[in-house]
Chains A and B, each alone.
Chain A
Amino acid sequence: MQKFQTITSTYVPLPIENVDTDQIIPARFLKATTREGFGNNLFADWRYDKEGNPKPDFVLNDPTYSGEILVAGKNFGSGSSREHAAWAIAGYGFKVVVSSFFADIFRNNALNNGVLPVVVSSNFLNSLFESVQKNPKATITVNLEAQTIRNNETGEQESFEINAYKKECLLKGLDDIDYLLSNKDKIETYEKKRPFVY
């Protein structure tokens, strides 16, 4: 996994609530056996018409907006456990997703793929949507080390939560399997003393 560094970037606004995993990557694209190539089908049914042509009114097809940060409405990533959703976000080139609320499984999947989900207050989220509407070149700075996010248009800044372990993993580009494998003796000890063996 790539190390996560401080990012300052323009951003793509998606002010829709409850964006579910079937919108992020529809099920018909889940037939692949590798992790690559999902970025092209990110938000496929909103992004392309039946013939596969880009729909001009969808934000990813609007050259006005671009950047490594996606800013979305409340409860982003609800629904399925498909990690393909996180692969699609990462594959498209987003490194950060900002929302006022994330579904649990999506949040874990994102973190496991080096994509940082940043939870902000609904007021901060609204100000991000307003800033980018006024100035599509508005930028956000996300500093993982300091756990801060800054709306550079207005100067507003908030802190965000992330557990110290995951933060370390992202900063160093490590994954959980490295950690778990270093713990095999503890697993075997647990197996000997557990209350009921199934």
Chain B
Amino acid sequence: MKTLFEKIWDAHVVTEVKDGPTQLYIDRHLVHEVTSPQAFAGLRARGLKVFRPEQTTLTADHNIPTMHQDQPIRDEVSRFQVDTLAKNARDFGLTYYGLNNPKNGIVHVIGPENGYSQPGMTIVCGDSHTSTHGAFGAIAFGIGTSEVEMVLASQCILQTRPKTMRINFEGKLADGVGAKDMALYMISQLTTGGATGYFVEYSGEAVRNLSMEGRMTLCNLSIEMGARGGLVAPDETTFAYLKGREYAPKGDRWEQAIAYWKTLKTDESAKFDKEVTIDATQIKPMITYGTNPGMGMPIDGSIPELESVDTAGKITFEKALNYMGFKPGEKLLGKPIDYVFLGSCTNGRIEDFRVFANYVRGKKKADNVTAWLVPGSWQVRKQIEAEGLDKILEEAGFELRQPGCSACLAMNDDKIPAGKYAVSTSNRNFEGRQGPGSRTILAGPLVAAAAAVTGKISLP
């Protein structure tokens, strides 16, 4: 009797290192410009090739502008980093989706939309939000650059087997509550380190009812409670999403794949190291008030009082509120904000743009708000245009940018100025994450849309 995680893990064990980690085989390796140059340099220094180039895909996303991508990158250091990725692709014979390639986009958006990410796979990338691909029923997790080098060199990685946790979302979500709210609620309950050492399976009615986009948002945020990854058992929703995508199996191979994928679920009597149940019917639209994603609350809630924080955490709590310019016990509803960011590997997919556009339809962007709407990929942007959402957004006073990680980590020029409040659909509200001194309030696309048209934190 095995959990889904154990079935996939066991199917990828090459060997066990004596008194050490497992040597795990990796089916797909996604690579981007920021965490890979030192790994390729390592291969060169050792005189190695990429072991399985056909299982490796490169894209530029973290360190690129989201305007004028047809022109050379102005920042010299950034341009060199992106050029280095292109050179590494050429030298090692790897598929690379550079700027202006129709398949370019955020690594965790293009993997799924091209059909690279499939049930039962092991998928890694030098990026902690690789957990996103777990939505397909895959073991997907972020790795460091030394590990990127390991996978390039051997298509394997040495990992200690994590413990297993199941988080069961019982019941249906209320209207206007989405996957981002589920995730922010969950992290606020478990805390930012509450799932460290675990790999999580998400289950229950509210998870089953999510679209693939929603499942990706939920799995994406697994790392924000410390989990190495999160996954959802594949089902008809998964198969319908994958069918016909470029790299998905075709013809007889598709039938074989479906037969195998249908075996990928947790056996009824399988045991998890930890089980958590969440009443999904009670979840409200969520926002964060602090400087880690665990500091979340319902949009109409109050920041905790200082007395409710444990002694060891008091310094950290006060530091966070001081940074944010908030007070213990304060309500944030009605608080004016300055920026809205729709995008990232968390909420930069077509469904997020549908939710946002649908809300702002016939309304106007508030004058005090600067809004950055950044599609997760060129394919997302094309779909936005195909559905006419770009017109709706334009009429409401919004402009679409070009794909990239953008203000999520602000490596490019998309930086929130010091002291300014940004309602962001991204994944981290760490100090300075969106630019030195920036103050991030994490939320889903619906809350972001409401903030964008009212200029303050508002109930959608």
Q: A interface vs B, CB < 8 Å? A: 15-18, 20, 22-23, 26-28, 30-35, 45, 50, 73-75, 78-84, 86, 101-105, 108-109, 112-113, 122, 126, 163-166, 175-177, 179-181, 183-184, 186-187, 190-191, 194-196, 198
The reply on B319 being an interface residue by CB < 8 A is yes
Q: How far is the CA of A33 from the CA of B315 in the complex (A)?
A: 36
Complex CA gap A183/B409 in Å reads 38
CB proximity of B202 to chain A, nearest CB, Å: 19
Given A27-B409, A103-B226, A122-B312, are A196 and B193 neighbors across the interface (CB < 8 Å)? Answer: no
Contact between chains at B316 and A73 (CB < 8 Å): yes
Q: Which chain B residues lie closer than 8 Å to A15 at the CB level? A: 315
Contact assessment for A33 and B160 in the assembled complex, using a CB-CB cutoff below 8 Å: no
Contact of A22 among B55, B319, B430 (CB under 8 A): B430
- Whole-angstrom CA separation of A75 from B149 in the bound complex: 26
Residues from 56 to 115 in B contacting A, C-beta threshold 8 Å: 62-63, 75, 77-78, 80-81, 84
Across the interface, A112 reaches (CB within 8 A) one of B55, B144, B153, namely B144
**CB distance A31 to B78 under 8 Å?**
yes
A179 to B23, CA, bound (A): 10
Report how far A27 CA is from B407 CA in the complex, Å.
11
Could you write out 11 A-B pairs with CB less than 8 Å apart? A17-B316, A22-B409, A30-B62, A31-B34, A78-B292, A83-B35, A104-B228, A163-B160, A177-B42, A180-B158, A186-B15
Q: Which of B146, B192, B411 contacts A83 (CB 8 A)?
A: B146
Of the residues A79, A103, A177, contact of B149 by C-beta under 8 Å: A177
The 6 tightest CB contacts between A and B, nearest first, are A165-B20, A164-B19, A33-B37, A83-B144, A112-B146, A81-B142
Contacts of B38 in A (CB 8 A): 33-35, 83
- In the complex, A16→B77 CA distance in Å? 32
- Candidates B17, B294, B313, B436; contact of A45 at CB < 8 Å: B436
Whether, in the assembled complex, B306 has its beta carbon less than 8 Å from a beta carbon of chain A, the answer is no
CB distance from B91 to the nearest CB of A (A): 14
Instruction: State whether A20 and B430 are in contact (beta carbons under 8 Å apart), knowing that A31-B411, A180-B154 are contacts in the complex.
Output: yes
Are A79 and B430 also in contact (CB < 8 A) when A177-B46, A187-B14, A187-B25 are?
yes
Q: Is B11 an interface residue (CB 8 A)?
A: yes
How distant is the Cα of A166 from the Cα of B144 in the complex, in angstroms?
16
Whether B425 is near chain A, meaning CB under 8 Å from some CB there, is no
- Encoded as 1 (CB less than 8 Å from any A CB) or 0, chain B from 1 to 35 comes to 00000000001101101111101010110000011
Chain B 124-163 interface 0/1 with A at a Cβ cutoff of 8 Å (1 = within): 0011101000000000001111110110011110101010
Closest chain A residue to B88 by CB distance?
A33
Contact B128 A81 (CB under 8 A): yes
Using CB atoms, name the residue of chain B closest to A19.
B316
Closest B residue to A166 by CB, please name it: B20
Would you call B189 an interface residue if the criterion is a C-beta within 8 Å of the partner chain's C-beta atoms? Answer: no
Assess A17 versus B81: contact at CB under 8 Å? Given A34-B41, A175-B146, A196-B120. no
Partner of B316, one of A16, A179, A191: A16
Complex CA–CA separation, A105 to B160 (angstroms) = 11
B33 to nearest A CB, angstroms?
9
Q: How large is the interface on B (under 10, 10 to 19, 20 to 34, 35 or more residues)?
A: 35 or more
Q: Which one, B142, B158, B313, B430, contacts A105 given CB within 8 A?
A: B142
Contact B17 A108 (CB under 8 A): no
Query: Which A residues are CB-close (under 8 A) to B409?
Result: 22, 27, 80
- Report the separation of the CA atoms of residues A6 and B41 in the bound assembly, to the nearest whole angstrom: 31
Instruction: Specify which chain A residues have a CB less than 8 angstroms from the CB of B55 in the assembled complex.
Output: 198
CA distance A45 to B434 in the complex (A): 13
A80: B residues at CB distance < 8 A: 127-128, 142, 409
Nearest A residue to B128, CB-CB: A81
Contact in complex: A177, B154 (CB < 8 Å): yes
B433 at the interface (CB under 8 A from A): yes
Let me know if B207 is at the binding interface, CB within 8 A: no
Select which of A104, A187, A190, A191 is within 8 A of B196 by beta carbon. A104
Is B197 on the interface with A (CB-CB < 8 A)?
Answer: yes
**A179 contact from B158, B162, B192, B226, Cβ within 8 A:** B158
Min CB distance B19 to A, Å, is 3
Asked if A31 meets B14 with Cβ closer than 8 Å, knowing A23-B431, A83-B146, A198-B118, the reply is no
Residue of B nearest to A163 (CB): B20
Please give, as numbers and ranges, the residues of chain A lying within 8 Å of B312 by CB-CB distance: 17, 73-74, 122, 126
Asked if B257 is an interface residue, CB under 8 A from chain A, the answer is: yes
Contact A30 B411 (CB under 8 A): yes
State the CA gap A36–B416 with chains docked (Å): 28
Residues of B within 8 A of A177 (CB): 42, 46, 146, 149-150, 153-154
Q: Does B280 contact A (CB under 8 A)?
A: no
Given A17-B316, A23-B431, A31-B63, A109 contacting B144 (CB threshold 8 A): yes
Flag whether B121 is at the interface (Cβ < 8 A).
Answer: yes
Which residue of the partner chain A has the closest CB to B77? A31
Chain A residues, CB < 8 A from B193: 18, 74-75, 78, 101, 103
Chain B residue with Cβ nearest A176: B158
Could you tell me if A22 and B433 are in contact, using CB atoms closer than 8 angstroms?
Answer: yes
Chain A hits for B257, CB < 8 A: 196
Asked if residues B315 and A187 are in contact (CB atoms below 8 Å), the reply is: no
Known: A22-B431, A75-B192, A80-B128. 17 other contacts (CB 8 A): A16-B319, A20-B428, A22-B433, A33-B38, A34-B41, A73-B316, A82-B35, A83-B144, A83-B145, A109-B146, A165-B21, A180-B154, A183-B15, A183-B156, A184-B154, A187-B155, A198-B121
Contacts of A108 in B (CB 8 A): 143-144, 147
B323 to chain A, nearest CB (A): 10
Residues in B with CB closer than 8 Å to A45 are 431-432, 436
